[in-house]
Amino acid sequence: MLVRDAMSTVVLTVGPAHTLRQAAVLMSARRVGAAIVHDPDAGGIGILTERDILNSVGLGQDPDREPIHAHTTNDVVFATPTWSLEEAARAMADGGFRHLIVLDGAEPAGIVSVRDIIRCWAGTRAPQPV
């Protein structure tokens, strides 16, 4: 089975100037654990995860004032749609993260999460968020 079989193709994309609260509201509404951050000034594509938001709040930072760019991971490991799920799982385990941005060429094609991989391996597929 390949990454394209498991990935979510409807992704949440946010800008670097949005606040963490704005991102959290959007992520909660879409029921996703990560958002793609498009930031041409920081090298293009990054990722913001629920863990990034949780860490900021845990440090006592104000989510209404904290810009996403201060919490974005820009050193991202990208998958391709033709990676096997084993390759994706290995990259996640080796890197200690739960989401991979999937690129088709230079453009994001989706996101695959540990949950997506488990659902495929377990034989169930949840509906994609809208």
Instruction: Give the whole-angstrom CA distance, residue 111 versus residue 68.
Output: 19
The token duo for 73 is 């991971």
The end-to-end CA distance of the chain, in Å, is: 24
Per-residue pLDDT in tens (0 to 9) along the chain, 130 residues: 999 999 999 899 999 889 999 999 999 999 999 999 988 776 789 999 999 999 999 999 999 999 999 999 888 999 999 999 999 999 999 999 999 999 998 889 999 999 999 999 887 655 555 5
Question: What is the pLDDT at residue 51?
Answer: 94
For the question of whether the overall pTM of this predicted structure is more than 0.95, the answer is no
Question: What is the pLDDT at residue 8?
Answer: 92
* Residue 128 forms part of a structural domain: no
Question: What is the pLDDT at residue 100?
Answer: 96
* Residue 129 forms part of a structural domain: no
Structural domain of 109 = 3-122
Question: What is the pLDDT at residue 74?
Answer: 85
CATH number of the structural domain spanning residue 92: 3.10.580.10
* Residue 39 forms part of a structural domain: yes
